[in-house]
Chains A and B, each alone.
Chain A
Amino acid sequence: MQYWIIQTLNSLALGGLLFLLAAGFSLIFGLMRIANLTHGSLYMLGAYVGISVLKYVPNLWLAAIIGGVIMAVFGGLVERLILRPLAGNALGQVLVTLGISFIIADLCLMIWGGDPIPIPTPPALRQPILVGGVTFPTYRLVVLLIAVVTAVLLYLLMDRTRIGAMIRAGVDDMPMARAVGIPVSRLFTAVFCLGAALAGAGGIIGGPIMSAYPGLDADMLPLALIVVMLGGVGSLLGAFVGSFLIGAIYTFGTALFPDLAYVILFLPMIVVIAFRPTGLFGRQSV
């Protein structure tokens, strides 16, 4: 029984972390119609930037916010200076994002070196929590909480604000959005900034669990892809449900069928795509 409680909590915590990663990826994918292959690198770069910020600001939450802002600026520059000139050339843009991810990986190696660097857990959250005879790391529960709060904030942004409405319009029908005067190109930059900030802050918040190490980017990108494919491109709800679904499938899958650890994540994705090519909550874009 205890075992199942721990694994359930595990799956929820992992799902929360995945949501921080995948929400931005989904929005960028939905609006700009490109799979942003730098997304894993933004996550890793965020973690490394967080390590440097933590040297001056010894508070993880503050570091996550500062790191998020830095990554937002970085994302904005990438979008304006590199992706913008390739507008309309989706294939070119995807390739460029792949190229940037290699550059980021090597830059991180040059600046921070090749050894894994830990991000310390905030002292108050270091002791594991004891609930009904079950020990569970407190920090993971906090990550889950942050993910839920972030999801609510993003929902309010998308559903209750003008800019959210414009983004939804762009995701659903780009030519029509342009026709009614929505500044789609500025929207692109905004969404890219938002996505980069979420990924970067996610890297820092996930740091006490995963640390920062070369290869973190390649570990995270496929997870973002799977979540978004499963949940549906451009859908916040899809990213949310997809994250927790993948968290659960991963956790219980590897616990129950350890020999299938590699395929366990991809099987549900294949099934969903076979029957619903747009994902669980994705809509056919026009």
Chain B
Amino acid sequence: MALTRRRFIEAAGLGASALGFPAIVRGQSGPIRVGLMTVKTGPLASGGIDMERALVQYLKERNTTMAGRKVDLFVGDSGGVPAQARTKIQELVERDKIQVMIGPLDTASALAADDYIRQAQLLTLSVAAAEDMTQRKPNPWFTRGTSTSSQSAQPLADYCAKTLQYKRMVTIADDIAYGHEMCAGFQRVFEDAGGKIVQKLFSPLTVPDYGTYIAQLKTNVDGIFLGFAGSNGFRFFRQFNEYGLRGKIAVVGGMTAFDEAVLRNMGDEALGIVTSCWYSAEIENAINKRFAANFRVDWGYDPGFYAAATYVEAAVLDATLQALKGNIEDKQAFMKIVRAIKVDTARGPVSFDRYGNVVGSVYIRKVERKDGRLVNRVIHTYPNVSQFWTYKPEEFLKNPVYSRDWPPAKNLES
């Protein structure tokens, strides 16, 4: 305890001095120290390892230089345990003296580190989707270049209601904040567009068997929305097929349900599934074509959500540093610029709102076979999607945060 307190005071002092006299305390010619807070062990490791691979690739393509300064990369592994994430971030800041952090990967870790990020005034470019970190309790040092939980689900709901003409739908998701927020956003937009969510199911994150849930599914609906993360969507969908439901109920999925990482272990049963995400390895722009091709050469598979996430965050960091002429020591200026900047990235052009969250394209994708492998082909693009969808931010923020119970589901049938 004494040690951590002392180290904290040291770090705070260092932070303060760096803030006060950036030009004197540190030269601007030394390397920029970038921390990547990821997960390389445990259930979330698949995505976490992709995060590191893509970031290393980004740096390699640029001769490990950003804005004329060398970049030193430090990688922390939390194992997906929030308490450990907080400790590792502290270690990255105090021992490795990182100046900016990319990560953490998961919502729970981001929430666990929220206080510390504020204390240490750590410049953070995150992947974690927790809504309120850029809504009702915005962290001034936190920026997200990917998507809030519901940011990609809301356009999909619009697509289901207006283009696919679905009227009645079921949602199922993991029983964690990410799943709740995603389904809530989906429900709100779908019902505002005239649809009805007639059944909402949440299964525990570590459910051994989805049979119980599948047996409950209403079959007199137009489609089911899957809000799963990690390997759960994959497992649910296999069991869904096992029960002979494929073809009887149309399946649409959120941004992590049929990620490229999952597709490479799937077969023809996945063909035709519609999902939405802020990224697809199939996006047609020069940056992404180069990124996806290089990634495929190095690792033998398509980049997905997590790989693209760090590649996009790195581009945002790079552009911000260019605008600052490499002066990362001026933290206030960094945050001001990062929230005002417009950057072309692998996911398309992005900018940020005043809460630190990204505004960018969201893609509606369909699983198809191409060159023998399954890909998420883009079939429709929603440009400039904000976390507030088409709602007014002020009114959106007056509502409680998306949850299991808000907005209330009025059309449930028992």
Binding site for B on A (CB under 8 A): 3, 6-7, 10, 13-14, 17, 105-106, 109, 113-118, 121, 127-128, 135-137, 139-140, 208-211, 213-215, 218-220, 223, 250-251, 254-255, 258, 261-262
In the complex the two chains form, what is the Cα distance from A169 to B46 in whole Å? 47
Instruction: Classify the interface of chain B: helix, strand, loop or mixed.
Output: mixed
Q: Are A261 and B204 in contact (CB-based, < 8 A)?
A: yes
Q: Are B46 and A115 in contact (CB-based, < 8 A)?
A: yes
CB-CB contacts of B226-242 with A at 8 A, as 1s and 0s?
Answer: 00001100110011001
**A3-B215, A210-B235, A213-B231 known; A117-B41 Cβ under 8 A:** no
**A214-B43, A261-B204 known; A136-B243 Cβ under 8 A:** yes
B46 cross-chain contacts in A, Cβ below 8 A: 113-115, 214
In the complex the two chains form, what is the Cα distance from A135 to B49 in whole Å? 40
Q: Are B238 and A137 in contact (CB-based, < 8 A)?
A: no
Which of B160-168, B257-265, B368-376, B395-403 sits within the interface?
B257-265
Q: Are A116 and B231 in contact (CB-based, < 8 A)?
A: yes
- Contacting A at CB under 8 A, from B28-46, are 41-46
Please tell me which one of the listed residues B207, B244, B265 contacts residue A135 in the complex, with CB atoms under 8 A apart.
B244
Please tell me which one of the listed residues A106, A116, A137, A218 contacts residue B41 in the complex, with CB atoms under 8 A apart.
A106
Q: Are B43 and A118 in contact (CB-based, < 8 A)?
A: no
B41 cross-chain contacts in A, Cβ below 8 A: 105-106, 109
Q: List, sorted by A's number, 29 A–B pairs whose CB atoms are closer than 8 Å.
A: A7-B215, A10-B212, A109-B45, A114-B45, A114-B46, A114-B48, A115-B46, A115-B264, A117-B265, A118-B234, A118-B265, A127-B244, A136-B243, A137-B239, A137-B244, A140-B242, A211-B238, A213-B43, A214-B46, A215-B42, A215-B43, A215-B231, A218-B43, A219-B206, A254-B213, A255-B215, A258-B202, A261-B175, A261-B204
B78 vs chain A, min Cβ distance (A): 14
In the complex the two chains form, what is the Cα distance from A168 to B107 in whole Å? 49
- Contacting A at CB under 8 A, from B170-201, are 175, 201
Q: Is B63 an interface residue (CB 8 A)?
A: no
Which residue of chain B has the shortest Cβ distance to A128 in the bound complex?
B244
B44 cross-chain contacts in A, Cβ below 8 A: 114
Q: Are B262 and A7 in contact (CB-based, < 8 A)?
A: no
Which residue of chain B has the shortest Cβ distance to A139 in the bound complex?
B242
Which residue of chain B has the shortest Cβ distance to A113 in the bound complex?
B46
Residue among A14, A135, A213 facing the most chain B CB atoms (10 A cut-off): A213
Which residue of chain A has the shortest Cβ distance to B244 in the bound complex?
A128
Q: Is B209 an interface residue (CB 8 A)?
A: yes
B48 vs chain A, min Cβ distance (A): 8
Please tell me which one of the listed residues B204, B238, B261 contacts residue A115 in the complex, with CB atoms under 8 A apart.
B261
- Which 9 interchain pairs have the tightest Cβ spacing? A114-B46, A215-B43, A116-B231, A128-B244, A114-B45, A213-B231, A137-B242, A10-B211, A6-B215
In the complex the two chains form, what is the Cα distance from A170 to B209 in whole Å? 35
Q: Are A251 and B211 in contact (CB-based, < 8 A)?
A: yes
Q: Is B64 an interface residue (CB 8 A)?
A: no
Q: Is B4 an interface residue (CB 8 A)?
A: no
Q: Is B87 an interface residue (CB 8 A)?
A: no
Q: Are A140 and B211 in contact (CB-based, < 8 A)?
A: yes
